[in-house]
């Protein structure tokens, strides 16, 4: 076997291993991409077996080659999410249009705001797993296995907590979008003297550790006010947390159909110890745009002047999604 053949074999083996993980991530986090890849194919499968080998013992399969995603037995590569990256490595007869190749990149489904935390937690988990493997010789298997499971779950939780899913931003006008995922815990009129300078409709959202923690801009406009305040770390479910806890206020001068003034307030909770906000004064922002996060449980509030004529489009204890759920809507005149 020549050098070129050895290189091709090594490349195929490497792609087999990475392909299994990549397909799992694609089907889990990007089903719309998988559907697009399926519909974009041209050509016929020759049933060479190369692409099916990529899925041998893959998490997609059960009972030999029964696909959990499509529910049918796989006999060729028309039944699972092969795309243009695979064809370059396994010589599949499928072809993809130029547009599909240009937009084939799979984004890492975690937020860029937390690469450091993920690296630290994952590194610690890997070291813990290595230590657990060593301790199998000195501890009862049950204890060593429990320790290994704990470190593995810790690493999984780091990726789960800092996940960053795609969102479909509504194009409706005269609305305010939710700036955070979570549960609506307050809808009330309050005084907001720092940016709005008068009565405002406030809606508060509580984020548990199981929610996506990315914050998104509720409406289009220009950032005119930012104020960070040190404070306590009370339970974010308490209304007092809005007053006493560490927080960051962002004031936006709305454009178009947006209110003239909108405040987004990031509030740390009992566990949260860091607020991230990448906005600066005079930044132009669009509704649904990501601008930061609060790490490990928190509260996010939106304030809109009462005189602007907006009303709540959600109810107490209702669930909302950042950049996707309409939080307020302008009253019909």
**Residues catalogued as catalytic:** 298
Measured torsion, CA atoms of residues 135, 138, 143, 147, in degrees rounded to the nearest 10: -10
C-alpha 141: how far from chain center: 36
The DSSP secondary structure of 181-210, one letter per residue, reads: SEEEEEEEEEEETTTT-EEEEEEEEEE-TT
C-alpha 139: how far from chain center: 39
* 292 phi, psi to nearest 5 deg: 165, -165
CB 256 within 8 A of CB 284: no
CB 213 within 8 A of CB 295: yes
Size (the chain), residues? 333
Helix H or strand E encompassing 254: strand 247-254
User: Which of 213, 215, 224, 217 has its CA nearest to residue 176?
Assistant: 217
Helix H or strand E encompassing 268: strand 262-268
Strands 326-330 and 310-312, by their bridges, are antiparallel
CA distances from 299 to 143, 168, 181 (A): 38, 22, 10
Beta carbons within 8 Å of 189's beta carbon, 6+ residues apart = 199, 200, 201, 202, 306
Residue 232 DSSP class? B
Tokens of residue 257, six digits: 């159909």
CA distance 275 to 296: 10
* 34 phi, psi to nearest 5 deg: -60, -45
């Amino acid at each position: 076997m020549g050098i070129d053949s050895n290189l091709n074999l090594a490349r195929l083996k490497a792609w087999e291993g990475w392909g299994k993980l990549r397909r799992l991530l694609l089907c889990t986090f990007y089903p719309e991409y998988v559907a697009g890849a399926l519909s974009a194919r041209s050509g016929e499968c020759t049933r060479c077996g190369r692409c099916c080998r990529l899925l041998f013992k893959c998490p997609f399969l059960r009972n030999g080659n029964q696909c959990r995603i499509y529910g049918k037995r796989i006999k060729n590569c028309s039944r699972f999410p092969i795309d243009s990256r695979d064809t370059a490595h396994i010589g599949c007869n499928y072809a993809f249009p130029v547009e599909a190749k240009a937009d084939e990149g799979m984004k890492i489904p975690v937020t860029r705001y937390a690469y450091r935390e993920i690296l630290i937690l994952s590194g610690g988990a890997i070291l813990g797993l290595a230590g657990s493997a060593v301790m199998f010789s000195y501890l009862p298997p049950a204890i060593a296995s429990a320790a290994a499971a704990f470190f593995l779950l810790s690493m999984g939780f780091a990726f789960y907590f800092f996940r960053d899913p795609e969102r479909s931003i509504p194009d409706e006008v005269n609305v305010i979008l939710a700036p955070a995922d979570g549960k609506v815990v307050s809808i009330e009129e309050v005084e907001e003297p720092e940016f709005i300078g008068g009565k405002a409709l406030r809606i508060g959202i509580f984020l548990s550790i199981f929610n996506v923690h990315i914050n998104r801009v509720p409406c289009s406009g220009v950032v005119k006010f930012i104020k960070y305040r040190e404070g306590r770390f009370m339970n974010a479910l308490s209304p007092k947390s809005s007053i006493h806890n560490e927080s960051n206020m962002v004031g936006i001068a709305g454009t178009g159909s947006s209110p003239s003034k909108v405040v987004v307030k990031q509030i740390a909770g009992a566990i949260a110890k860091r607020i991230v906000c990448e906005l600066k004064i005079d930044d132009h922002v669009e509704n649904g745009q990501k601008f930061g996060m609060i790490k490990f449980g928190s509260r996010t509030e939106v304030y809109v002047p009462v005189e602007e004529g907006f009303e709540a489009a959600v109810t107490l204890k209702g669930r909302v999604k950042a950049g996707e759920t309409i939080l307020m809507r302008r009253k019909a005149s």
